A and B are shown apart, each in its own frame.
Chain A
Amino acid sequence: MEPNAGTTEARSNRTPSEGDEVAALESLQFTDEIHRLISAPPTDNASSFTALLELRAPQAIQLLHSPESAKLIAAPAPNVEDFKGSFHFPSNNGLIERAARFSVVSAEGNNNNNKSNSPETTSNNSSANLLKAVKSEPAETESSQPLVSVPTVEKRSIKRKDREKKVKGSTKKRKTAAYESSEDAEKLPYVHVRARRGQATDSHSLAERARREKINARMKLLQELVPGCNKISGTALVLDEIINHVQSLQRQVEFLSMRLAAVNPRIDFNLDSIFTAESGSLMESNFPSMVMPLMWPEVQVNGSRQQYQQQWHFDALQQPARGREEVCNNYITPENSLLSYDSSANSATLHSNQLKMEL
């Protein structure tokens, strides 16, 4: 009660131009509605704002100005009364909002870092969740997390307050500001725009600012994805790092394809032979975990290689006798294991399946 009484007094003090009696009457009428609205659950901010906006536009702004600020802003009461003191809010709330957003993003990343077991997939998991965060960015404000909702509500109130400051004057301007604010309230999931003091509030600059903020949010994600970009500040240097990273990845693909070409004279890689060979490093890498589920499709694919069987048939007959100590014929081993897979269908498949199960 006490802050509301204070606000009504402050409001009546601050708006002498409207006529004291009218303002006082209106303010008294609206305190009841304010009480009702404030008693509504604070998490359900979107609906409370739209409820406020159903009121007449000019009074809605006045309502939004004082009770929301009294309810939400932790700053002491003098800020409510001191009209000019509120220009500190944008910077604070900008930081709060950004911190909230990135704490949400990093929290998701951290949660998955804790959950996942293998260290090498943590970066991929966090990047995946960061991407999820990007895609759910439009729905951010509707999340029930109190961490996010409070700063956005504060931001909304600040936005309206700023707009009101700039249009203190004719009612026509106030109406347009209210309409803008109402439009933004409906589009709030998509437009996260902060109107700072002294900046224009027309739709072009708003759209541009929204675009800028989208770009900056994505740049932050990129910074977290590319290793070593976290400490760098400045778009040009971050872009430099990103370019270097992409170039190095592309070069690695080139080198690896060269390496693979050098390994085999024929470019069909028989995963079956890779499994039948006993090599300790294979077990450590996650290659088996990747490839194990692929074994069954191999059965059908290998059927297309029937045409090459005739040439190597005699080798296929010798292969079971050779055993694994035979090293010299690099060319033949992959082919033979492949063809023994094909030719002696049932027994070979059973044998290879048993080996896969062991692995």
Chain B
Amino acid sequence: MRPPSLLKQEFLKKWIMGLQRCSSTKKNMNILERKKAIKLSADVAMASSRNGTTCWSRALIANASKDGNDKHLVEQILGPESERLIVKKVSIGALVCNKRIRSKKILKRSCGIRRTRKCVPQVALASSIAKWLVRKRTQVLKSLIPGGEFMNEVCLIKETLDYIISLRAQVDVMRSLASASEQVNHS
């Protein structure tokens, strides 16, 4: 695990580069477009700092590349060669994950008939209530983490750990840049 300052430096460098490429392509963006571009380049920079080692980073870049508008931005930010590597991994991962999701859905549908009675927790057992609660929370967590629906529990927790650390670094850098820019503008 790299020290956080190195992580922040790398993130900042990639982010600024991405922003400059964004601004070179489009002039006169309104505030919402700007905000989207800033957020997108920040997220992609954060994800690319992981170099495809974590699942959430690959999923994030995949989601960003799916949207046609942002795809070329993502490509520019990542750089040509690394983008190919990540996209390859992402496409393979996406294929596998889609298959997994489809098979899971089929399973759920087939078992759904049996399960409809049990979806409400029975009051009798405290342990079953606890399990149901944990299941609900896990589903929410899966929806939060990019690419979380494809992971089993073990991977999910590991990815959450990494994601929280990256998000914290991202927030720190963005906050300091924002306050510094505001200082410059108000002084």
- Interface positions of A (Cβ within 8 A of B): 121, 124-125, 127-129, 131-132, 134, 211, 214-215, 218-219, 221-222, 225-226, 234-236, 239-240, 242-243, 245-247, 249-250, 252-254, 256-264, 266-269, 271, 273-274, 277-279, 281-282, 285-287, 289-291, 293-294, 297-298, 301, 304-305, 307, 327, 330, 333-334
Contact = CB atoms under 8 A, between A and B. Distances in A.
A289 B29 CA distance: 31
B183 A279 contact: yes
Q: Output the residue of A222, A267, A305, A307 with the most chain B CB within 10 A.
A: A267
7 contacts: A128-B1, A134-B158, A215-B154, A234-B130, A253-B43, A301-B20, A307-B24
Using C-beta atoms within 8 Å of the partner chain, give the interface range for chain B: 35 or more
B39 A263 contact: no
Interface string B121-149: 00000000010011001101100110000
Given A236-B134, A243-B140, A277-B183, A290 B16 contact: no
Interface string B75-113: 000000000000000000000000000000000000000
A274 to B, nearest CB: 5
A236 B129 CA distance: 10
A297 B13 contact: yes
A321 to B, nearest CB: 19
Contact of A277 (B16, B177, B184): B184
B172 to A, nearest CB: 8
The DSSP consensus for interface residues of chain A is helix
A69 B172 CA distance: 53
B154 A218 contact: yes
B35 A290 contact: no
A39 B8 CA distance: 52
Given A131-B165, A239-B138, A242-B160, 14 more contacts: A243-B140, A246-B144, A253-B42, A253-B43, A262-B31, A263-B185, A267-B23, A269-B19, A271-B16, A290-B5, A291-B9, A301-B16, A304-B20, A305-B24
A62 to B, nearest CB: 37
B3 A274 contact: no
A119 B144 CA distance: 29
A240 B137 contact: yes
A111 to B, nearest CB: 15
A330 B168 CA distance: 30
Interface of B: 1-5, 8-9, 12-13, 16-17, 19-20, 22-24, 29, 31-32, 34-35, 37-39, 42-43, 130, 133-134, 137-138, 140-141, 144-145, 153-154, 157-158, 160-165, 167-171, 173-185, 187
Given A259-B178, A263-B182, A253 B137 contact: no
A216 B184 CA distance: 48
A288 to B, nearest CB: 9
A121 B4 contact: yes
A238 to B, nearest CB: 9
Contacts, number: 190
A219 B38 CA distance: 33
A226 B163 CA distance: 12
Contact of B145 (A221, A246, A282): A246
**Secondary structure dominating the interface of B:** helix
Nearest to B158: A218
Contacts of B19: 267-269
B170 A253 contact: yes
A270 to B, nearest CB: 9
A167 B61 CA distance: 54
Contacts of A242: 141, 160, 164
A258 B137 contact: no
A242 B9 CA distance: 26
A127 B7 CA distance: 14
Given A267-B23, A297-B13, A245 B187 contact: no
Given A256-B171, A277-B187, A124 B144 contact: no
A277 B5 CA distance: 23
Contacts of B130: 234-236
B171 to A, nearest CB: 5
B29 to A, nearest CB: 7
A268 B23 contact: yes
A251 to B, nearest CB: 10
B12 A290 contact: yes
B180 A279 contact: yes
Contacts of B167: 246, 249-250, 253
Top 3 A-B pairs, shortest CB-CB distance:
A239-B137, A261-B34, A124-B4
A273 B161 CA distance: 36
Nearest to A298: B16
A134 to B, nearest CB: 8
A125 B165 CA distance: 11
Contacts of B39: 253-254, 257
B187 A247 contact: no
